[in-house]
Structures are given as C-alpha cells and as structure tokens.
Structure 1
Amino acid sequence: MVRIGAIVLNVSDTGRGGDFWSRALGYQRGDNPHFLLPSAGGGPRLHLDATDRTHLDLWAADEDEQLAEVERLQALGATRVAWDYPEDADFVVLADPDGNVFCVVNAGA
C-alpha cells in the first residue's frame, strides 16, 4: 500500500521557505537543502520547489507495487496525466477525480 512519502510545496524562495517550515514543523534540512525531514523520524518529508505545483508524492516500495498501486488508484477514479517524463523517471503522474495531481513514486528506485 502506498503512503505519503513527501508533500511537494510550491514556494517562491526555497531558502526562506525552508527556514520558515523547518521552524514551524520542527523539521530539519536533509542532505538536499530542498528537502525537510521530520526531526523525530516519522511523517512525510517536505520537498520545497519553486517550479512545481503543490502536490502529494505517494511512495511505493518497488516497481511492482508502484504499477499495482497505479492500477488500483485508477480503478478508484484517478486518471493518468499526460506528462513530459525524464528518461529515468521513477514516478507516474495521476489526477484524482477533482483534477488534483499527485505522483506515485517507486521509492526503491
């Protein structure tokens, strides 16, 4: 079963956003300064991005689970979104019945 692995948050300034959200949530910066991680180890990471829209990243354990979850979510009413994927994409972009996009990520990739 997928879980919320990351919340991608659109911010105009990742440094300022990182300063605010790390203090607001008690998160700490990871090796990548755009990722904020829960200090206590539980919960999704926060991915700060100035170019992407706000959305959820749902993490699957491996490629098999990712494909099964994409099928399951489509059966629940999600639709696949036309997307310009990079060659080494580890994610699939879907939209919920209201058109909100989210990604199903192969976290094992």
Structure 2
Amino acid sequence: MLRLGAIVLNTSDTSRGAAFWSAALGWEAGANPDFLAPVDGGEATHLHLDRSDRTHLDLWVDSAAEQEAEVERLVGLGATRPAWDYPDGADFVVLADPDGTLFCVVDQSA
C-alpha cells in the first residue's frame, strides 16, 4: 500500500530547522537528528530536513516488489521517470508528476 512517508524539506540549517519544526509540531528526532517523527512513533508522515535536496514527497512501500508495482502504476497515471544518477544500493525511485514535480517511491524494507 503506497503511503506518504515523509516530506523532505530543504533548509539551509538542519539544526535550526529541527529545533523549530520539533517545537512547532511536538515531534522528536530519531537516530538521525534531521528526521523528525511524532512522539508516539505512529505511522504518521515524517519530516526530513535536508540542506542539499529539494523539497519533495517520499512515498513509502513495504517491499521491492511493491515498489516496482507502484512505480508502474504511477507511470500509468502520467508520472515519468526523469534521468537520475542513483547511488549504489538506492532504495528509492525518482519520478516526476505530470507538472514535472519530483517525488520518490521508497522501499522501506531495504
């Protein structure tokens, strides 16, 4: 099942951003201090602060097979696969919506 897993928010200072957003939302940082989540640890959408990445949505799935199926479904709905330089072992696929807005489909089992 495809779900909104994280909003990646571009920020010039992740420490300052984390302090602001954790106070604003009542969320806390996990093992990665740039990744904020609800205190109750529920399945809610997370906020990931990043200095180098553009603001985008991360859509999460539970397996590589589900990722492949969702990517194909989204392409069928009008998404495209932009040229992308993936790191070795990437757990995500970058897509663009019909307006060109980038988003990722992330395999959470990786």
Which bracket does the TM-score occupy, shorter chain normalised? over 0.9
**Which whole-Å deviations, capped at 9, do the CAs of 1:61-107 have from their partners, x for residues lacking one?**
10000000000000000000111100110100000001110000111
Partner of 2:37: 37
CA-atom RMSD, angstroms? 0.7
- How many residue pairs end up in the alignment? 109
Aligned residue in 1 for 2:55: 54
SS for the counterpart of 1:80 is coil
Unaligned ranges ≥5, structure 1: none
Cα distance in 2 between the residues matched to 1:68 and 1:92: 12
Flag structure 2 segments of 5+ consecutive residues without an equivalent: none
Further displaced range: 72-81 or 38-47: 38-47
CA offsets 1:36-83 (integer angstroms, 9 cap, x no match): 011133311111000000000000110000000000000000000111
- Partners in 2 of 1:8 and 1:98 — Cα distance? 19
Equivalent position SS for 1:22 = helix
Partners of 2:82 and 2:38 lie apart in 1 by 30
Residue type matched to 1:61 in 2? Answer: D
How many Å apart are 1:34 and its aligned residue? 0.8
Runs of 4+ residues deviating >3 angstroms: none
CA distance in 1, matches of 2:26, 2:84: 34
Identity rate, percent: 67
> With structure 2 as the length reference, what TM-score do the two structures score?
0.96
Partner of 2:80: 79
**Inter-partner Cα distance in structure 1 for 2:30 and 2:48:** 10
